[in-house]
Amino acid sequence: MPNLKDLKNRIESVKSTRKITKAMQMVAAAKLRRAQESAEASRPYAARFNAVMAGLAASVGGSDSAPKLLRGTGSDDVHLLVVMTAERGLCGGFNSNIAKLARAKAYELKAKGKTVKILTVGKKGRDAIKRDYGDLFVGHVDLSEVKRLGYTNAQDIAKDVLSRFDAGEFDVATIFYSKFVNVVSQTPTAQQIIPASFEDVEGDDSGAVFDYEPSEEAILADLLPKAVATAIFSGLLENGASEQGARMSAMDNATRNAGEMIDKLTIQFNRSRQAVITNELIEIISGAEAL
């Protein structure tokens, strides 16, 4: 059984840890509000942009004049997985859940005989996947010095992906991120960005017919690279909100667990102290009787 000094030191240590986790929880809560607002503000634009692109893509169909980003290479032998996670940990299962989804996709593709390449965004995702699929890495994007994510960060990642596609390095590209639902719920998501796949989530019940100038193919060729950057930016914003929500929840759990541990250690300390006092009393009484 630990002596009183050891128990007292453990109690003080856990109290110090509780102060740290409580502070981290408060910081995450402050950052979450801004990150959540950014993620939610981007959704209407992304949804409307997706609807417009869906209409254009449907009108062009599978014609030979369609841009390469839309029709693809005609093959799906080589897949690029863009795994976007956080640069820091202590946020529960946020990073591991995204990495788990990416690993499952890589395993599925390799089982089908496909070639898999992985581009990581964020240190934690790279660390989580490196042991199993480190030989598949083709690049890494470090955002540790970025204080606040902007569209330019997504553009840089999109340029890297698009240059690899133009060079014929892959046929299909998929991004992995975590969609923010609420503080306690974040959904790991896989979204194909090349060849572009659009789902008209808003629908168009106006019955309007549009004439495009220049041609739909020309407009698509100009907008598709922006669509890739927009999808990546939306994923980064969703990740930002999900990370802070997961960290806030994890630190709240850690703070409560620390409180429970302090209570248990305090009870153990009091019982040990009472046992020491009782033993000293017995020794005094036994000594007095012996005299």
As annotated, the active-site residues are: 91
Contact of 18 with 258, CB cutoff 8 Å: yes
Contact of 84 with 177, CB cutoff 8 Å: yes
- With b for 16 or more beta-carbon neighbours within 10 A and e for fewer, the 60-87 pattern comes to beeeeebbebbbbeeeeebbbbbbbbbb
Residue that the structure tokens 């799906």 belong to: 76
Long-range contacts of 2-6 (CB under 8 A, 24+ apart): 2/268, 2/272, 3/272, 4/269, 4/272, 4/273, 4/276
d(CA 190, CA 175): 6
d(CA 233, CA 220): 19
Angle formed at CA 257 by CA 7 and CA 273, multiple of 5 degrees: 20
